[in-house]
A and B are shown apart, each in its own frame.
Chain A
Amino acid sequence: MAKPKESDQQLWDRLRSGDDDAYSLIYNRYTPVMFSYGMQFSSDRELIKDCIQDVFVKLYTNRKKINTTTNIKFFLFVILKNHLYNYFKKELSFTPFIKDIDIPKIDLSPETQLMIKEEAFLQQEKLNHLLKILSPRQQEVLYYRYIEELNFEEIEQLMHINYQSIQNLIQRSLKKIRENNLLLFFFQVISV
């Protein structure tokens, strides 16, 4: 650990001072998560890419005038979601999850491969099923909280709901999973 990692605020301030390297770094670091986030609302890759393009163009034009932030990802999410609102002209919600199973590609003996495939397949089936019992709104909250690790205030702003509603959505999701007895038994499962 030679030197401490640059904080979001420092990086953002570099962008605001007109530093093009900071702009590039922000683009490279955050475009993938923005894309993944945008794809939660639509399955149209090109559309999401276009919106991200707009966001970055706007960001560049206004980089010297924007305010400071301590969480760049959240900041970009808000702008991207606003853009999507303007495009769809309706309330946005997470799309229902569509199954899309990847089988690991590796060179193994056919038998082992088959076994892994089967096991991976079964595991994914179970996870799919788990997602299916959750409402899009529950999935949205959980995605923000556990995948993107946003805090409650940030989720409140992205979803326009209050702290208690977020808590309720999370609690009910977990309750639902418990009741449906959907948990997997992991320790014996593959690690490829």
Chain B
Amino acid sequence: MPENKNIEILDKNKYKNFTAEDLLNNSFFLKSIKTPTELSEAFWKETVDEGFIEKKEIDLAKSLLLALSLRKKSLKTNELDSLRKKIDKNNNTNKKIKIIIRITAAAAACILLFVSIHTFFLKEEPTSPSITDVASLFKTNDLGKEIKLKRGAEPIISISDQDANIEINQHGELRINSKAIEETAPVSKENNIEYNELIVPNGKRSTLSLPDGSKLWVNAGSRIVFPATFKGNKREIFLNGEIYIEVYPDKSKPFIVNTSKMDIQVLGTSFNITAYEEDEEQSVVLVTGSVNISTDNQFKKELCPNERFSLTGDKTEIRTVDPGNYIAWKDGWYISESEDFGRLLDRLGRYYGKKVIYNENVSQLKCSGRLNLRDNFVDLLKGLEKTLPITYSEKDYYIEIQMSNNKLLPMK
């Protein structure tokens, strides 16, 4: 067997007119450079001497490969052993952990979807881990480029639209943009709570209707983890990002939104939460009803309609606001009232999925007004250029905003 294979590989005709690219895509060539043998060395020399391949092509492929090999780093044997000892020690003490991670290598389904490959299951135990624990398992800071819905062991669904409309009814049936999606492998393990995850990257939006009748508007750059069905005596979801939510009233089952820094508990109400883990400030704006907020540092507070609660580090603040300004994004508007321009740029960057760079002077400009988020980003910036003393320049991967020197500072 192996001999036949060698003969086939060593057929010089097979490599006639190979370019460096062809060579690099050939596993025998890669092997010959990484672990050369006398045979392989002689073979490649002959292919050149006999005119099958141009020497410069081989040299190019070889140079590239050897240069890349310089990046390799090796682990010493004693490091390998001591690391193993630490792992074994951990494994022996960790056996009680009940979290079951299910990793689906849905490779076939992922051909053009740029997804990370995990979904997870939890076994319902008296001490089942919190939804925050579930969410932190395999959390990713790179949300990718497309809206993605992961449901338990189902293949990940990727949605390329700018806006998605996702509905899950009380029977667990899923509709995306009004189209029913069949489950491929219904899971019927009774004791498992199955978790779903919705990822909405920068530049995208989605709505999400949950089985209990609650409705969420999900802003760009958000990740939500929620159970496939709400079992037990509460409805709990995890959020990293921004949502506006209308909670379906159910007095027997409070609805709880967990974020990295606080929990918001409600019975039936509507409110906006901004809780991006990477942002310093997290906030809640209550539109109707009432909510209870508890933060990591034991702060508890009930909020009334038209109040905005914010948490920055350990500092909390409550003030009365026009809630309309804070939920305008769900209808495609951005309303700001004497807001720092830097903050506005950050939010726009997230909304449009573009990185925006600016300096301190730009950041400190105050602005008020209403922007139409249906405009594209560049049009919007052109508009801002006319009213603010700034200029923008569009680069490959980001947009840079600078103060323009020839304009007077004062603004409307």
Question: A interface vs B, CB < 8 Å?
Answer: 1, 27-28, 31-32, 35-36, 39-40, 45, 49, 52-53, 56-58, 60-62, 65-70, 75, 78-79, 82, 85-86, 89-91, 94, 97, 100, 123-124, 126-128, 130-131, 139, 142-143, 145-147, 149, 153, 156-157, 159-163, 170-171, 173-174, 177-178, 182-187, 191
CB pair A177–B60 under 8 Å, yes or no, is yes
Q: How far is the CB of B116 from chain A (nearest CB, A)?
A: 6
Q: Contacts A143-B71, A153-B111, A157-B116 given: A82-B30 contact, CB under 8 Å?
A: no
CB pair B101–A58 under 8 Å, yes or no, is yes
Tell me the complex Cα distance, A75–B58, Å: 32
CB pair B27–A149 under 8 Å, yes or no, is yes
Question: B interface vs A, CB < 8 Å?
Answer: 1-2, 20-21, 24, 27, 30, 36, 41, 45, 48, 55-56, 58-60, 62-75, 79-80, 83-84, 86-87, 90-91, 94-95, 97, 99-105, 107, 110-112, 114-118, 121, 138-142, 144-145, 278
Tell me the complex Cα distance, A127–B64, Å: 8
Residue from A124, A156, A173, A187 in contact with B70 in the complex, judged by beta carbons closer than 8 Å: A124
Q: How far is the CB of B93 from chain A (nearest CB, A)?
A: 10
* Nearest-CB residue, chain A, relative to B75: A35
Query: 10 nearest interchain CB pairs?
Result: A39-B73, A127-B67, A62-B101, A160-B114, A65-B100, A130-B67, A183-B59, A35-B75, A183-B60, A60-B91
Q: How far is the CB of A28 from chain B (nearest CB, A)?
A: 8
For B110, list chain A residues within 8 Å (CB).
153, 156-157
For A78, list chain B residues within 8 Å (CB).
116-117
Residue from A31, A39, A68, A161 in contact with B114 in the complex, judged by beta carbons closer than 8 Å: A161
For B63, list chain A residues within 8 Å (CB).
126-127, 130, 177, 182-184, 186
Q: How far is the CB of B8 from chain A (nearest CB, A)?
A: 16
For A36, list chain B residues within 8 Å (CB).
71-75
For B20, list chain A residues within 8 Å (CB).
174
CB pair B117–A97 under 8 Å, yes or no, is no
* Nearest-CB residue, chain B, relative to A131: B67
Q: How far is the CB of A143 from chain B (nearest CB, A)?
A: 6
Which of A139, A177, A191 counts the most B-chain CB atoms under 10 A from its CB?
Answer: A177
A-B contact count (CB 8 A): 177
For A60, list chain B residues within 8 Å (CB).
87, 91, 94
Residue from B24, B87, B102, B118 in contact with A57 in the complex, judged by beta carbons closer than 8 Å: B87
Tell me the complex Cα distance, A160–B139, Å: 15
CB pair B68–A156 under 8 Å, yes or no, is no
* Nearest-CB residue, chain B, relative to A159: B114
Tell me the complex Cα distance, A91–B68, Å: 22
CB pair A56–B87 under 8 Å, yes or no, is yes
* Nearest-CB residue, chain B, relative to A124: B70
Q: How far is the CB of B144 from chain A (nearest CB, A)?
A: 5
Tell me the complex Cα distance, A128–B64, Å: 10
* Nearest-CB residue, chain A, relative to B278: A89
Which of B67, B95, B142 counts the most A-chain CB atoms under 10 A from its CB?
Answer: B67
Residue from A45, A62, A146 in contact with B100 in the complex, judged by beta carbons closer than 8 Å: A62
Tell me the complex Cα distance, A147–B123, Å: 40
CB pair B142–A52 under 8 Å, yes or no, is no
Q: How far is the CB of B306 from chain A (nearest CB, A)?
A: 34
For B107, list chain A residues within 8 Å (CB).
70, 153
For A28, list chain B residues within 8 Å (CB).
80
Q: Contacts A27-B87, A53-B86, A57-B90 given: A184-B117 contact, CB under 8 Å?
A: no
CB pair A61–B97 under 8 Å, yes or no, is yes
Tell me the complex Cα distance, A146–B41, Å: 19
Q: How far is the CB of A189 from chain B (nearest CB, A)?
A: 10
Residue from B2, B45, B73, B121 in contact with A187 in the complex, judged by beta carbons closer than 8 Å: B45
CB pair A61–B91 under 8 Å, yes or no, is yes
Tell me the complex Cα distance, A57–B137, Å: 13
